[in-house]
Structure 1
């Protein structure tokens, strides 16, 4: 069953989509929604965080949230979770853990995760599948408190994102950098392609509700399996991941 805050976020998202809360209007306050739904204000804040991450509402605290735009084509949570995205396009998600190790961070991981000297990370390498076909490699460094939870998840058969959120780890904000890279020897072996085959590379830094770093990931996709589209507006920018069904025009 979905977490309570996800259910509330979906209800508010539906209200934004059907015009109950049009762009420029304000959502009910945290206390109003908490009373209406019999939920804690912390749960309401988590729901607001998902809507803010999707670019639907302002993220300002201490005031009623302002609706900034209509519902986007694809939410941030779907972009972050490979399993949700795969299901949304009619594919069966799959995965295979290549390695999960606890180790010292690289210089880049330490910088992007804001780690102190002597800190450790859990580094996961996982091959992701669409209906049995290898299409992406995840290489993710988790801060230690999150990585320790990942170690107890059946990452071959469960969505790490959704399971962590059930355990109280909310992926609230993310920065994405998308570029092209040639497949190195390990990429080629795992994806079953020739070395130097062009891949789409997504670098992702994710933080929680308090903007504390959770993960730094280097994900590499087969270029004929996925595409990213950015929708720009004066109110918000939405990054959408889609499958490649036909050559671009």
Structure 2
């Protein structure tokens, strides 16, 4: 467990049990006495772990009844066509997006290389939160070539759907060229945005989307709340 507090390890174990489906939505967790015996800790330590799970939205307590699972991990496929609203609706969740930033600025070195642009070329930046049933599941940061999609920002202000905005700009379809997935821990700022505890597990994806001719049209980084999302790759994807 290293230097992590004992309650943190207990919290992660219970969260993992829920993610694996050992306890489903609406299920009651074992009693405090049972969990204390399982982990060999006093109830004060156990309650700290349960309180943290409740703060993250994974469980909730009912007075006199126990602690119940509230949130189930959302299956999120990463295929050649990744569509946020379609993915969540297929998983039986209600999708929503909260805009945090819309701006046009010069591309940095990494963005220019990913989008095959000249250094300092203008890009549109779209940053926001993705939610499932009102609970934050991911923070995203997407960058687009501004010269190719001059009206993209206005479309996104009206409807924060990238697919709809690109279609309005003349691109009816696009596919995923590459996706890199890395396990990270949440910084204090990221944890606050995703309603997690600092240091909680997150999955970062770095992806490039292309048009039918193979031209990069979007460079995106997304940080998924590890306990709330199950990323899946279809056959032949990667």
- Which of 100, 110, 119 lines up with 2:121 in the alignment? 119
- Structure 2 residue corresponding to 1:76, chosen from 47, 65, 80: 80
Is 1:230 the equivalent of 2:233? yes
In 1, distance between residues paired with 2:86 and 2:80?
A: 11
Q: Tell me whether 1:177 sits opposite 2:180 in the alignment.
A: yes
CA RMSD between the two structures: 2.2
- Cα pair 2:201 2:227 within 8 Å, conserved: no
Runs of 4+ residues over 4 Å off in structure 1: 154-158
**Displacement of 1:116:** 0.8
Aligned length: 161
How high is the TM-score relative to the length of structure 1? 0.59
Q: In the superposition, relative to structure 1, how do residues 238 and 83 fare at CA in structure 2: closer, same or farther (>3 Å)?
A: same
Maintained 8 Å contact 2:78/2:231: no
Per the alignment, residue 17 of structure 1 pairs with none
The higher-RCO structure (CA 8 Å, 6+ apart) is: 2
Contact persistence 2:79–2:234 (CA under 8 A) = no
Q: Give the distance between the partners of 1:126 and 1:166, measured in 2 at CA.
A: 20
CA distance in structure 2 between the partners assigned to 1:178 and 1:214 by the alignment: 20
Give 1:211 deviation, angstroms: 0.9
The answer as to whether partners of 1:136 and 1:219 remain within 8 angstroms in 2 is: yes
Pairwise CA distance, 1:156: 7.5
In structure 2, relative to structure 1, the CA distance for the partners of 1:76 and 1:166 (3 Å cut) is farther
Q: Measured at CA, do residues 139 and 147 of structure 1 come closer, stay the same or move farther in structure 2, by a change above 3 Å?
A: farther
Alignment partner, residue 63 of structure 1: none
Report what 1:96 is aligned to: 98
1:114 is paired with a residue of what secondary structure? coil
Q: Work out which of the two has the higher radius of gyration on C-alpha atoms and give 1 or 2.
A: 2
SS of alignment partner, residue 187 of structure 1: helix
In structure 2, the partner of 1:12 is none
Q: Secondary structure at the match of 2:154?
A: coil
Q: Which residue of 1 aligns with 2:202?
A: 199
CA distance in 1, matches of 2:119, 2:165: 29
Q: Which residue of 2 aligns with 1:215?
A: 218
The answer for unaligned runs of 5 or more in structure 2 is: 1-76
TM-score, scaled to structure 2: 0.61
